[in-house]
Structure 1
Amino acid sequence: MEKLYSVFFSPTDTTRGVLDFLVAGMQKAAEDVDLTSYQNKDLQKDFTAEDTVLIGVPSYAGRVPETFVQRFKENIKGNNTPAVIVITFGNRAYEDTLIELKDLAQANGFNVIAAAAVVTQHSIVPQFGAGRPDEQDKAELAEFAVQAKNKLASQNTAAITVSGNRPYKQAMASAMAPVLAEDKCIGCGTCVIACPTGAIDKSSFECEKAKCISCLRCIKVCPMNCRYVPEEILAKLKAHLAPLCASRKDNEFFI
Structure 2
Amino acid sequence: MALTDEAIEQIKQMILGGELRPGDRLPREAELSAALGLSRNSLREAVRALALINVLDVRQGDGTYVSSLEPGVMLDAVTFVVDVQRDDSLLEFLEVRRLLEPAATSMATTRMDDAEITALADLLDELGPDPTVEDLVANDQEFHRRIALGSGNSVLASLIESFSGPLHRARVWRGLTQESATTRTLDEHRAIQQAMATRRHDVARAWAEVHVAGVEQWLRSVSADHGGAGPLPPD
Which band: TM-score by shorter chain?
under 0.3
Q: Comparing both structures, which one devotes a greater share of its residues to strand?
A: 1
TM-score scaled to structure 1, two decimals?
Answer: 0.21
Larger radius of gyration: 2
